Amino acid sequence: MAWIAQPSPDHLKLHRFAGTWTGEETLSPSPWGPGGPASGRITGRIVCDGFFVVSDYEEEKDGRITFRGHSVYGWDAKRQVVTWYWVDSMGTPPAQAVTGKWDGDTLVLTQEHPEGHSRFTYKFQGDDLYDFTIEGMREGKPWETMMKGSYRRSS
């Protein structure tokens, strides 16, 4: 009988991202726009026999879709980290996975890049609600909040 790989408990923890999520967001002013309120919708699904979760994101401002993204969440058992690949409608391919760890119901992922550092924090409040924050830090400056959102699972 052939051995069939099974997702570990660390893979299964990522399944919390599956489902349809909607929420309100606050964007900080940036080189990409003036900031302000937005709405987000995320649709996530479990793929590859439970080893990964993929999701599609749409941001809406002023009644139209202004930004789209696609995520792949996984677990790197060798390094003991969550991996997150992100591509979006800005068109820049990811140089590498963003990585991080769970601390209870909070997942913090970090990335170093030529412009500085990024930090992405998912704070789950039960099974059907999470807060998400994107922060950036440039060399010699403190962390700045770039986006905050609160999302509720609708299915």
Q: Please state the domain count of the chain.
A: 1
Q: What's the pLDDT score for residue 93?
A: 86
Tell me whether residue 91 is in a domain.
Answer: yes
Q: What's the pLDDT score for residue 88?
A: 95
Tell me whether residue 1 is in a domain.
Answer: no
CB-facing half-sphere around the CA of 90: CA atoms within 13 A: 9
pLDDT tens profile 51-93: 999 999 999 999 999 999 999 999 999 999 999 999 999 998 8
- Cα 144 from Cα 71, distance rounded (Å): 23
Q: Which of 63, 64, 66 is nearest to 33 (CA)?
A: 66
**Residue position matching structure tokens 């590498």:** 96
Residue 24 has pLDDT above 80, yes or no: yes
Q: What is the mean pLDDT of the chain?
A: 94
Tell me whether residue 4 is in a domain.
Answer: no
CB 44 within 8 Å of CB 21: yes
Tell me whether residue 137 is in a domain.
Answer: yes
Tell me whether residue 2 is in a domain.
Answer: no
SS3 state at 61: strand
Q: What's the pLDDT score for residue 1?
A: 60
- Complete DSSP assignment for 92-105: PPPSS-EEEEEETT
- Cα 107 from Cα 109, distance rounded (Å): 7
State the alpha helices, DSSP H only, in 16-146: none
Averaged pLDDT for residues 14-18:
98
Tell me whether residue 3 is in a domain.
Answer: no
Q: What's the pLDDT score for residue 139?
A: 83
Beta bridge partners of 32: none
Q: What is the pTM of this model?
A: 0.93
Tell me whether residue 105 is in a domain.
Answer: yes
Residue 115: CATH number of its domain: 2.40.128.20
Tell me whether residue 84 is in a domain.
Answer: yes
Task: Give the residue numbers spanning the domain of 107.
Answer: 9-153
pLDDT tens profile 99-144: 999 999 999 999 998 888 999 999 999 999 999 999 999 888 899 9
